[in-house]
């Protein structure tokens, strides 16, 4: 039902009949499946986004499986499989990370691949930084000691280790979540750091494995959060795929904006 309601919402948006479209119908259907989002209360856009993508993935995966079954029923010799967990959502948004874990005693290296749809990036400064600084912070090697030790299969004991993440498969659309809600001095607060992000030529090759395809991206949308921990307001900037003009979406107000306005201190989610 969520996928059908989402499809109707997309159709209404792109049909061009209305100046703006309310997502009330989609929200109602989605809220029945996920009661935590049914209430008119403050929710996190990143958590909502992940939930929506997963819902759509499950729906489209089921359709894919049904189509495969129908194909197999008509052609007993076909080897199309049963959906195999793929969908248009995974095709567009899913990437693959690899965590290389090296035991500091025997130097054995273990690879642990992991899928992702959103990369949550730490913000390494309280005043000003760049998206590249956030990426460097995310992909820098880390040392696992004390309670975070790994069990080394070669040493057969718990050992200190280093871990380093790298991208082995970059998605067509990559989503960055700027971790503005963080713990500082034992208090949770929102970071108002200015994060400067490029509009074009975002090169992820420094963070990919040598065998990965070249990954260069252009910014296509930004989700902004204005406010603090307890109260806030979300808006979005989206680039038209044909004209490449930018538009601001603020409730019922849809406004064309200059490129310079897209660089905002309130950026929370970045779509490339």
pLDDT at 126: 85
- Separation CA 272–CA 259 (nearest Å): 15
pLDDT at 69: 54
* Secondary structure in 3-state letters for 62-106: HHHHHHHHHHHHHCCCCCCCCCCCCCHHHHHHCEEEEEEEEECCC
pLDDT at 166: 96
pLDDT at 66: 56
* Window from 98-112, 206-220, 253-267 with minimum mean pLDDT: 206-220
pLDDT at 77: 37
> Residues 6 or more apart from 18 whose CB is under 8 A from it?
12
- Separation CA 272–CA 268 (nearest Å): 13
pLDDT at 19: 87
Is the pLDDT confidence value at 211 over 70? Answer: yes
pLDDT at 230: 78
Over range 79-104, report the average pLDDT: 82
106, 155 Cβ separation under 8 angstroms: yes
Name the band, by pLDDT with cuts 50, 70 and 90, for residue 7.
very high
pLDDT (tens digit per residue) in 220-266: 999 999 998 878 899 999 999 899 999 999 999 999 999 999 999 99
Over range 184-204, report the average pLDDT: 89
- Separation CA 7–CA 249 (nearest Å): 19
Is the pLDDT confidence value at 206 over 80? Answer: yes
- For residue 236, which of 246, 250, 217 has the smallest C-alpha distance? 250
Across the chain, mean pLDDT equals 89
Rounded to a whole number of angstroms, the CA Rg of the chain reads 22
- Separation CA 206–CA 60 (nearest Å): 33
Residue the block writes with tokens 């061009």: 16
71, 80 Cβ separation under 8 angstroms: yes
74/222: higher pLDDT: 222
Percent of the chain with pLDDT over 90: 72
pLDDT (tens digit per residue) in 16-25: 888 889 999 9
pLDDT (tens digit per residue) in 122-136: 999 989 999 999 999
pLDDT at 82: 35
Strands 157-159 and 194-196: unpaired
Residue 224's DSSP bridge partners are 235, 267
pLDDT at 84: 57
Percent of the chain with pLDDT over 70: 90
pLDDT (tens digit per residue) in 160-183: 999 999 999 999 999 999 999 876
């Amino acid at each position: 039902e969520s996928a059908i309601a989402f499809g109707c919402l997309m159709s209404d948006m792109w049909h061009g009949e209305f100046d703006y479209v309310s997502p009330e119908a989609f929200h109602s259907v989605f809220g029945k499946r996920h009661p935590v989002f049914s209430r008119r209360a403050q929710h996190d856009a990143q958590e909502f986004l992940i939930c929506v993508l997963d819902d759509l993935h499950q729906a489209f995966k089921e359709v894919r499986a049904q189509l495969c079954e129908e194909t197999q029923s008509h052609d007993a010799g076909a080897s199309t499989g049963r959906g195999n967990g793929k969908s248009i959502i995974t095709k567009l948004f899913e990437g693959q990370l690899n965590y290389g874990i090296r035991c500091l005693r025997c130097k054995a290296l273990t690879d642990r691949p992991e899928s992702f749809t959103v990369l949550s990036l730490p913000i390494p400064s309280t005043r000003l930084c760049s998206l590249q600084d956030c990426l460097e912070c995310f992909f820098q090697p880390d040392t696992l000691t004390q309670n975070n030790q790994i069990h080394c299969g070669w040493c057969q004991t718990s050992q200190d280790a280093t871990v380093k993440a790298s991208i082995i498969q970059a998605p067509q659309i990559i989503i960055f979540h700027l971790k503005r809600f963080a713990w500082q001095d034992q208090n949770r607060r929102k970071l108002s750091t200015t994060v400067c992000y490029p509009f074009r030529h975002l090169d992820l090759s420094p963070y990919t494995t040598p065998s990965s395809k070249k990954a260069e991206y252009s910014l296509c949308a930004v989700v902004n959060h204005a406010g603090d921990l307890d109260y806030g307001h979300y808006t979005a900037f989206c680039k038209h795929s044909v004209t490449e003009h930018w538009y601001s979406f603020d409730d019922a107000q849809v406004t064309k904006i200059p490129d310079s306005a897209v660089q905002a201190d309130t950026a929370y989610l970045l779509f490339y």
